[in-house]
Amino acid sequence: MIEVVSTERCVSCDVCIAVCPTNVFEAGPGGIPVIARQSDCQTCFMCEAHCPADALFVAPHTHPVPADSPLRDEEHLAGTGLLGSYRRELGWGRGRKPGARLAVGPELRPAAT
Amino acid sequence: MINLDLTADVVVVGGGPAGTWAALTAAEAGADVLLLDKGYCGTSGPTASGGTGVWYVQPDPEEREKAMASREKLGGFLQDRRWMARVLDQTYENMNRLEAEARYPFPIVDGVPHKRGVQGPEYMRRMRSWIKRAGVRVLDHSPVTELLVDGTGTVAGVRGHRRQHGTGYRVRAGAVVLATGGCAFLSKALGCDVATGDGALFAAEAGAEMSGMEFSTAYAIAPAFTSVTKTAYYGFATFFRGDGTWLEGAGSQGGRSVIAKELLRTGTVLCQIDRATPEQQRQMRLGQPNFFLTFDRLGINPFTEKFPVTLLLEGTVRGTGGIRIIADDCATTVPGLYAAGDAATRELVCGAFTGGGSHNSAWAMSSGTFAGRGAAAFATALGATANRRRLTGVGEAGIQRPFDRTDALDVIRREVHPYDKNYLRTASRLEPALAHLDAVWDGRRGGAVATGGDLPGVRQAAAMVAHARWMYTSALARTESRGMARREEFPRLDPNQYHRLTVGGLDRLWTRPETVTGRELAVAS
């Protein structure tokens, strides 16, 4: 679920409010969106992919992580390179090559009959 | 209260692949098109957040024949050869347009663009900007809550709610395309929580029928307590019991029921993706970067470590059941109403077996194209009379009569999510589950008529209960095992049940066998 909105990184574009398919965010004070309905989050990572400032982090769990989890610790996430990692792999952002250009997976095993 | 009153030649409900192709095609046919997404067109639905193979086959007779024949046995021979051929044609054309006109950056393999798959976020971002360039108006965060019909029962518009504005809206339309997706019952399978079967409910209230709803037992593998359901890569995995011993027979294909049974028995199944070569491991990361989101963030190396897995319900998203279509333009039995993508039955191309991945994505873009063209033609034929019709809402549960959302969500969790009811199906468990669902549908215990911002949630809950009742009613009517519709007490295919099953009704459900069409082209091969 969405766990982090970085006040420091956020550029107040409100893109996350627009793109979240389950309407999790609300406009917040000082232009920083707030996680208003975390339980509606479907852990699809779309907000993170669309955030131009790598200010959002979605933990892979479909339930909230504990308050002291490293997945809520912005410093840890930035230090390990996890913050912004999905956007980097998608190749989204200025000067990046789209990941789709490289997306050739392995030949899958044929369906069993 | 109606705060926004709009008109359009064609309304498209849903902004995933089927909806965007429908909108594009209708706009190119000259229609004034309004696309309504309950979330955000470009991120909503399982395609946008995932990635998918595409049934893209060169127009070579031999290759096409091989492609059509490959899954026919799995699909219980319920596919329609003529439809398969036209979907292959349309998909080929659409994928080429996606490269040429939407500038989708396909990978280059051996000097040519590799069009047998798309990365979800990139695909849907480009579809959104493409339809806007084509003149389609898009309203995001605007769930439809019911269809509107004219005095003859012809669908003539929609009503809904703009959840980020807190206002209602109404659209008068010449025709409506339902591209609302399948139903995954809020299981948190990747990107699927917007897929609550809304369109099927709307269609049924207007008088439409469903087909193939017994083919709805899809469950996907995901690391436990997470959302990323990329079952294909688990073809490279080995599965283990909680104590680390090998779980014999378990697999992503053919052995998923073994996983379900072990999860029911002990609650734990472990997995390790230990059968991929280093080169395949590298390709997996390039092919589906989102597959690794979970592992990277949990600090797990899936190739060398065992991790717990679960099965998440994908219902009719990966099943093949949906709104029955009766003509080449994806018309339903209700005039003015068209269905595309996972909202429609995919039996025509997938038969009784999951259309997951390539077939569903080909179906989405092709049926979207057919439906968009059909809806535009229907609206054009109405001419100026389209906007002079008296409109009546046909929404029932939660609108004309009370419906209890809390009870509905509870009965879905208890009677539809569990593997021993919806996956490992048998009459002794299906019948009581259906009775519970019926009781919530009847709503004798209360609930309320919803308005404003509460209405979409109540209608989604009603759609899921209706969906489950059609699924179980069809499952009980098919007393054999065909494709993914397996019955524990009838493990074999019964040649006397070689038909499709239509199901319909809201309060009193009925089923009707349907002759399989489009087999005359299936020469013995």
* ipTM rounded to 2 decimals: 0.96
Which of B254, B280, B296 lies nearest to residue A106, judging by beta carbons?
B280
Task: Establish how many alpha carbons lie within 13 A of residue B354's alpha carbon, considering only the half-sphere containing its beta carbon.
Answer: 23
Is B49's CB within 8 Å of A44's CB?
Answer: yes
Confirm or reject contact between B165 and chain A (CB < 8 A).
no
Q: Which residues of A touch B42 (CB under 8 A)?
A: 19
- Are A21 and B40 within 8 A, CB to CB? yes
Q: A82 to chain B: which residues are within 8 Å by CB?
A: 296-297
The residue among B193, B196, B292, B317 with the most chain A CBs within 10 A of its CB, best to mutate, is B193
CA-based nearest residue to B171, from B379, B322, B330: B379
Name B337's Cβ contacts closer than 8 Å, sequence gap at least 6.
B147, B155, B175, B176, B178, B203, B206, B208, B331
pLDDT value at residue B232: 85
**Structural domains present in chain B:** 4-215+319-393 (3.50.50.60), 218-315 (3.90.700.10), 405-491 (1.20.58.100)
B289: nearest CA in chain A?
A: A89
- Average the pLDDT over B332-338 and give the result: 98
Which residues in chain B are contacts of A45 at CB distance < 8 A?
49, 290, 293
Task: Number of helices (H) and strands (E) in chain B: give both, helices first.
Answer: 15, 20
pLDDT at B408 over 80: yes
Whether B447 contacts B439, CB under 8 Å: no
How many Å apart are CA B329 and CA B83, to the nearest integer? 11
Check pLDDT > 80 for residue B355: no
Considering CB atoms only, which of B71, B121, B193 is closest to A90? Answer: B121
Return the minimum-mean-pLDDT range out of B196-205, B208-217, B380-389.
B380-389
Contact A46 B188 (CB under 8 A): no
Residue of A nearest to B256 (CA): A112
Residue for token pair 């219902």: B315
pLDDT of residue A72: 97
Name the H helices within B416-451.
427-442
Cβ contact B188–A62 (<8 Å)? yes
| pLDDT at site A113 | 33
C-alpha atoms less than 13 angstroms from C-alpha of B401 in its C-beta half-sphere: 12
**Selection from B180, B36, B200, B148 nearest residue B393 by Cα:** B148
Residue B167's alpha-carbon distances to A101, B141, B331, B463, B477, in angstroms, are 41, 11, 31, 22, 43
Over the stretch B357-376, which tens digit does the pLDDT of each residue have?
799 999 999 999 999 999 99
Structure tokens at B90: 């349309």
Q: Which has the higher per-residue pLDDT, B299 or B255?
A: B299
Using a CB–CB cutoff of 8 Å, tell me whether B286 touches chain A: yes
Contact flag B43-A104 (C-beta cutoff 8 Å): no
Going from the C-alpha of B41 to that of each of A49, B143, B414, the distances in angstroms are 15, 12, 32
Copy the structure tokens of residue B348. 């025509």
- Confidence class of residue B1 from pLDDT cuts 50, 70 and 90? low
Which pLDDT does position B522 carry in this prediction? Answer: 57
Among the partner-chain residues A40, A62, A103, the one whose CB lies closest to the CB of B117 is A103
Question: Which residue from B minimizes the CA distance to A82?
Answer: B297
* Contact status, residue B334 vs residue B203, Cβ threshold 8 Å: yes
- Residue numbers in A near B122 (CB within 8 A): 90, 98-100
Q: Is A112 on the interface with B (CB under 8 A)?
A: yes
Angle formed by the axes of helices B405-415 and B427-442, nearest 10°: 180
Mean of pLDDT over chain B: 95
The residue among B458, B467, B395 whose CA lies nearest residue B170 is B395
B106, B227, B284 ranked by CB distance to A43: nearest: B227
Are B43 and A103 inside 8 Å of each other by CB?
A: no
Cα of first residue to Cα of last residue in chain A, in angstroms, is 37
Q: Select from A20, A101, A108 the Cβ nearest to the Cβ of B232.
A: A108
Rounded to whole angstroms, what are the CA distances from B478 to B316, B343, B399? Answer: 17, 21, 33
**The pairing of beta strand B108-109 with beta strand B155-162:** unpaired
Percent of chain B with pLDDT strictly greater than 70: 98
Q: Which numeric CATH code is attached to A2-94?
A: 3.30.70.20
- State how far the alpha carbon of A107 is from the alpha carbons of A110, B47, B67, B236, B279, in Å: 9, 20, 16, 11, 11
Write out chain B residues lying below 8 Å of A104, CB-based: 107, 109, 114, 283, 286-287
Residues of chain B found within 8 Å of residue A71, distances taken between Cβ atoms: 297
pLDDT score, position B476: 98
With cut-offs at 50, 70 and 90, classify the pLDDT of residue A111: very low
Closest alpha carbon to B483 in B472, B498, B471: B498
- The arithmetic mean of pLDDT across residues B17-23, rounded, is 98
Strand order, beta sheet including B322-323: B322-323, B210-211, B500-504, B510-514
Does B253 lie at the interface with A, CB-CB under 8 angstroms?
A: yes
Q: What residues of chain A lie within 8 A of the CB of B141, using their CB? A: 23
CB within 8 Å of chain A, chain B residues 80-119: 104-109, 114, 117-119
Beta strands in B386-519 (DSSP E): 392-393, 500-504, 510-514
In DSSP terms, B511 is beta-bridged to: B503
Beta carbons within 8 Å of B470's beta carbon, 6+ residues apart: B200, B210, B213, B321, B503, B504, B509
pLDDT above 70 (res B521): no
Tell whether A100 lies on the interface with B, counting CB pairs under 8 A. yes
Asked if A42's CB is within 8 angstroms of B192's CB, the reply is yes
**Mean pLDDT of the region B26-35:** 98
pLDDT tier, B2 (very low <50, low <70, confident <90, very high otherwise) = low
Which residues of chain B does A105 touch, with a Cβ-Cβ cutoff of 8 Å?
117, 283-284, 286-288
The distance from CA A93 to its chain's CA centroid, rounded to whole angstroms, is 14
With residue B144 as reference, give the H or E element that holds it. strand B144-149
Name the E strands within chain A: 2-5, 25-26, 34-35, 56-58
- The β-bridge relationship of strands B167-178 and B155-162 is antiparallel
B127-159 pLDDT, tens digit per residue, is: 999 999 999 999 999 999 999 999 999 999 999
Closest among B127, B96, B95 to B19, alpha carbons compared: B127
Q: Is B43 on the interface with A (CB under 8 A)?
A: yes
A52 in contact with B, Cβ within 8 Å: no
The Cα B134–Cα B346 span in angstroms is: 28
Judged by average pLDDT, the poorest of A99-108, B150-159, B196-205, B386-395 is: A99-108
Arithmetic mean of pLDDT, B447-467 = 93
Residue B524 burial (CB count, 10 A):
3
pLDDT over 90, % of chain B: 90
Chain B residue with CA closest to A104: the answer is: B287
Rounded to an integer, what distance in angstroms lies between the CA atom of residue B63 and that of residue B1? 56
| Interface contact B227-A18, CB threshold 8 A | no
A20/B293 touch (CB, cutoff 8 Å), yes or no? no
In Å, how far from its chain's centre is CA B338? 15
Q: Is B194 on the interface with A (CB under 8 A)?
A: yes
Q: Can you tell me the mean pLDDT for B475-500?
A: 97
Dist. CA B319–CA B347, nearest whole Å: 9
Buried b or exposed e, range B467-485, using 16+ CB within 10 angstroms: bbbbbbbbbbbbebbbbbb
Q: Which two tokens stand for residue B386?
A: 């389209």
Amino acid at A48: E
Does B307 contact A at CB distance below 8 Å?
Answer: no
Q: Which of A76-90, B278-292, B412-426, B490-504 has the lowest mean pLDDT?
A: B278-292
Please name the residues in contact with B412: beta carbons below 8 A apart, sequence gap of 6 or more.
B185, B186, B461, B464, B465, B468
A22 close contact with B: CB closer than 8 A? yes
Distance of alpha carbon A45 from alpha carbon A62, whole angstroms: 11
- Residue B448's pLDDT is what? 78
Q: In this structure, what is the dihedral angle of CA atoms B167, B172, B174, B179, given to the nearest 10 degrees?
A: 20
What integer pLDDT is reported at residue B520 of this predicted model? 72
What DSSP designation does B292 have?
G
Is B336:B372 a contact under the CB 8 Å cutoff? no
The distance in angstroms from the start CA to the end CA of chain B is: 60
Q: Chain A residue with minimal CA distance to B235?
A: A109
Judged by CB atoms closer than 8 Å, whether chains meet at A42 and B71 is answered as: no
Q: How far from the centroid of its chain's Cα atoms is residue B319's Cα?
A: 7
- Beta strand ranges found along B293-416 (DSSP E): 307-314, 322-323, 337-339, 392-393
Please tell me the distance from the alpha carbon of residue A57 to that of residue A79, in angstroms, as a whole number. Answer: 13
Of A46, A106, A112, the CB nearest to B276: A106
Closest CA to B300 of B350, B250, B225: B225
Handedness of CA B220, B226, B230, B234 (dihedral sign): negative
